[in-house]
Amino acid sequence: MEGFEGVVNEFDGTASVDFAQNNLELKGLINLPVMAMSTGITLRDVHMRSKDWLNEDRYSHIRFELEEGWKQRVKKKGRDKWFVLAQGRFTLKGRSKDIEIPLTFERKKTEKGETLYIKGSFVVTLAEYGIRGPTAMKMIGAKVSPYIKVTIKLVGHDIAGFGPTDKNYSW
């Protein structure tokens, strides 16, 4: 199997967090444009966006949404640090699936105001989202792992100023 890392530095989204609540009252949305994904090799990026893989022409974004009312398991780990088992809907190549992602949330005061750092990772099973690669080449399992690890590192800045506990962040 070939090993490589890809990055996405261009995306948008928001998160709403109420730090006074034990479950943080989380809501949020992250949209990743497939076009912004980069593996560092142009030809591999072109293949990744093609109809055989992510089909960027038809499915231009990858999305994760935390909906209000979903049960988020939250454990406070320090004054401004939490472990969150985030339940949300992940959409890839037009297929949506409810998943859980283990995350750490850390709130820090900075010169820009308040900043929220979110880190975590989860595994995507390609077949569950209809990603099979070129059928005749049988690459999944031979050259490409059927499982892709996704690592999350987000930095959000408070945009609303709703007071000391209820915060809205943009990415």
**DSSP string covering the chain, please?**
------EE---EEEEEEETTSTTTT-EEEEEEEGGGEE-S-HHHHHHHHSTTTT-TTT--EEEEEE-TTS--EEEEEETTEEEEEEEEEEEETTEEEEEEEEEEEEEEEETTEEEEEEEEEEEEEGGGGT----GGGT-BTTTB-SEEEEEEEEEEEE-S---SSEEEEE-
Q: What is the Cβ-side half-sphere exposure of residue 61, based on CA atoms within 13 angstroms? A: 12
- Label residue 5 left, alpha or beta by phi (over 0 means left) and psi (-120 to 50 means alpha): beta
Domain boundaries, the chain: 10-160
Most confident range, picked from 11-15, 84-88, 109-113, 140-144: 84-88
| Per-residue confidence band for 170, with pLDDT thresholds at 50, 70 and 90 | low
Predicted local distance difference test score (pLDDT) of residue 156: 84
Most confident range, picked from 70-79, 92-101, 113-122, 161-170: 92-101
Most confident range, picked from 59-63, 115-119, 142-146: 59-63
- Take residue 55 and report the two structure tokens written for it: 């089909």
Q: What is the pTM of this model?
A: 0.87
Domain 10-160: CATH superfamily, name plus number:
Lipid/polyisoprenoid-binding, YceI-like (2.40.128.110)
What does the pLDDT look like over 85-135, one tens digit per residue?
A: 999 999 999 999 999 999 999 998 877 678 889 999 999 999 999 998 887
Determine the Cα angle at 118 with ends 116 and 119, to 5°.
155
